Amino acid sequence: MAAEPTAMVGGSFDPVHLGHLHLVHTVVASTSYRRFIFVPVARNNFKQDANPADAVHRMNMLRMGFDAYASMYPDDPPLELIAEDCELKRGGISYTYDTVKYLYLHYSIKGRLAVVMGDDLVSSLHRWHAYEQLKELVTFVVIRREGSVVRLDDLCADIVYLENSLLEDSSTRIRNRCRELGESDELGDDIARLMPGEVARYVQEHRLYRS
């Protein structure tokens, strides 16, 4: 495997939605990263009460999202999109530092690995597990999600701030809307349109997120 500029995208992906794919497009448009490794979290240290869908479902939906990407952004350069289940297999609370070390061991990465994150996480970045060690290993690529730009007061951290239109996190909205549905109800267009078509059909077929 040739060394490539590589970015890690962590999250629940519960489910993957159009905002996640637009995030990749945003990074592609502004940087040289062409390999994106999506790492579904097993248990988020900052959302320990979350109860995500089964790991198999989340991985399946991620790959469906990847299949949809090329048709959504046909003018983008060729990309390598990878669904990595290392945190799901590891189990327990997921720490970015542990995953970064794993990725360096298992992938040929050119330069520093990028950790893509929303600017809503910047203010708490210094509280991440092993932050001082983590910042020596990666470049933080920050996507705008808040109305005002939040910047980290740490001159020793390698941070790239991207200027982009605000991205909406639709996962919570999708899950909440699905919980309102009966077992036999169809997904409404207002929710289905937030996901790639195949993902929406998968959520419907498997009756995910229903109460």
Angle between helices 18-30 and 55-72 (to 10 degrees): 50
pLDDT at 146: 67
In single-letter form, the type of residue at position 21 comes to L
- Domains of the chain with bracketed CATH: 6-169 (3.40.50.620)
What are the φ and ψ backbone dihedral angles of 139, each rounded to 5 degrees? -105, 130
The first and second tokens of residue 138, run together, are 């990666």
pLDDT at 45: 54
The pLDDT tens digits of the residues spanning 73-126 come to 999 999 999 999 999 999 888 899 999 999 999 999 999 999 999 888 898 999
With contact defined as beta carbons under 8 Å apart, do 22 and 46 qualify? Answer: no
How is residue 167 annotated by DSSP? P
Question: Model pTM?
Answer: 0.92
pLDDT at 154: 87
Report the percentage of the chain scoring pLDDT > 90.
74
> What's the whole-number average pLDDT of the chain?
91
d(CA 29, CA 10): 19
Give SS3 for 18.
helix
Strands 113-118 and 80-83: unpaired
Q: Where are the alpha helices (DSSP H) in the chain?
A: 18-30, 55-72, 86-90, 96-106, 131-134, 171-179, 189-192, 197-205
pLDDT at residue 54 is higher than 60: yes
Kindly tell me the burial class for residue 155, based on how many C-beta atoms sit within 10 Å of its own C-beta (0-12, 13-18, 19 or more): exposed
d(CA 89, CA 103): 14
The gap between the terminal CA atoms of the chain, to the nearest Å, is 44
With contact defined as beta carbons under 8 Å apart, do 113 and 9 qualify? Answer: no
